[in-house]
Amino acid sequence: MTTVRIIGAPTDYGANRRGVDMGPSAIRYAGLADQLVSAGIDPVDAGDLAVPRAEERDPDADTPSEWNAKFLRETADVCGRLAEEVSDTLADGSVPLALGGDHSIAIGSLSGSARGAEIGAVWFDAHADLNTPTTTPSGNVHGMPLAAALGIGAFADTEWANAPGLSPENVALVGLRSVDGAEADLLRERDFSVYTMSDIDERGITTVTEEAMATAAADVDGVHVSLDLDWLDPNEAPGVGTPVRGGVTYREAHSAMEIVDETGSLRSMELVEVNPTLDQHNETAELATELAASAFGKRVL
């Protein structure tokens, strides 16, 4: 039986709206462990990383003057500790499942998953998350984790943020519909595989996800799956900080996660951007638990 180790990273340092730090609690309360058991998984909950409140910290401390990146010191600390947890989990033969928190935690997940290994990544998200501290329009690090892990731009040689075992040719972004100008330039210039919502409409979620997983899994040790709940349409997942209309449906999301499982290449995963203060009856957290179960093998029959 596969063991999945649940690691909470209750941070809202990277977001522009408070409340997402309660995401791990909301996801657990929604029945994550029971959903994983129903998928034939043995869940082990490692609890939450200790994360000081953003209100108690200076968002500009230790940030280079030419950078626009809020709470960079705190993000580095949390992601460094998460990377250790993810790496140790893999060394023990278990699969790490990180719970955000905002999407900046992916810096730690990717770094830990890529430690001593070559990995791919599939980014299920409305956003590309390829901004850097010198291109970001907001300074919010939850829009930068993929750039950070790949050492792009200002993140070059930033050891705590980089995942050397991850290369752009093994990264696939699925469901994009909100991309900044600098990110669009990177997506055109680099070897990313990019699937917008228009691609999903035209080709179907099954074909797109199969291609994305195949690209990410080519000649690597495994695939990290990053699932931002704003990938779904806000009508399906209202409890997110940066909703964008026109996302995937409930059924499309489950189909995609079922394909993730069927490939047999899932190495690590995270669920991010569940904000219970913006949710309705905890339905976004409940959806997160269901999608995790599908990614780990739960089926109707």
Q: What span, in angstroms and rounded, lies between the C-alpha atoms of 226 and 98?
A: 9
| pLDDT the model gives residue 212 | 98
Q: List 127's β-bridge partners, or say none.
A: 178
Element (H, E) at 258: helix 250-263
Q: What span, in angstroms and rounded, lies between the C-alpha atoms of 80 and 157?
A: 15
Catalytic residue among 273, 279, 286, 290: 273
* pLDDT over 70 (residue 301): no
What Rg value do the Cα atoms of the chain yield, rounded?
Answer: 17
Q: What span, in angstroms and rounded, lies between the C-alpha atoms of 216 and 253?
A: 18
User: Residue type for 170, please?
Assistant: N
Could you confirm whether 157 is annotated as catalytic? no
Dmax (CA) of the chain:
56
Could you confirm whether 221 is annotated as catalytic? no
Q: What span, in angstroms and rounded, lies between the C-alpha atoms of 86 and 116?
A: 12
pTM confidence score: 0.97
The stretches of the chain forming alpha helices (DSSP H) are 23-29, 32-38, 72-91, 106-113, 145-150, 181-189, 197-203, 205-217, 250-263, 283-295
174 phi/psi in degrees, rounded to 5: -125, 125
Catalytic residue among 12, 48, 103, 183: 103
Catalytic residue among 12, 228, 233, 286: 228
Do 112 and 161 contact (CB within 8 A), yes or no? no
Do 242 and 180 contact (CB within 8 A), yes or no? no
Catalytic residue among 21, 74, 129, 261: 129
214 falls in which pLDDT band (50, 70, 90)? Answer: very high
Catalytic residue among 127, 183, 261, 286: 127
Catalytic residue among 125, 261, 279, 286: 125
Could you confirm whether 60 is annotated as catalytic? no
Could you confirm whether 224 is annotated as catalytic? no
Closest CA to 127 of 139, 138, 143, 141: 143
Could you confirm whether 103 is annotated as catalytic? yes
17 falls in which pLDDT band (50, 70, 90)? Answer: confident
- Tens digits of per-residue pLDDT, 218-252? 999 999 999 999 999 999 999 999 999 999 999 99
- Tens digits of per-residue pLDDT, 48-83? 999 998 888 888 888 888 899 999 999 999 999 999
Catalytic residue among 230, 233, 279, 290: 230
Could you confirm whether 129 is annotated as catalytic? yes
Residue with tokens 């939850």: 142
Question: Residue length, the chain?
Answer: 301
Could you confirm whether 127 is annotated as catalytic? yes
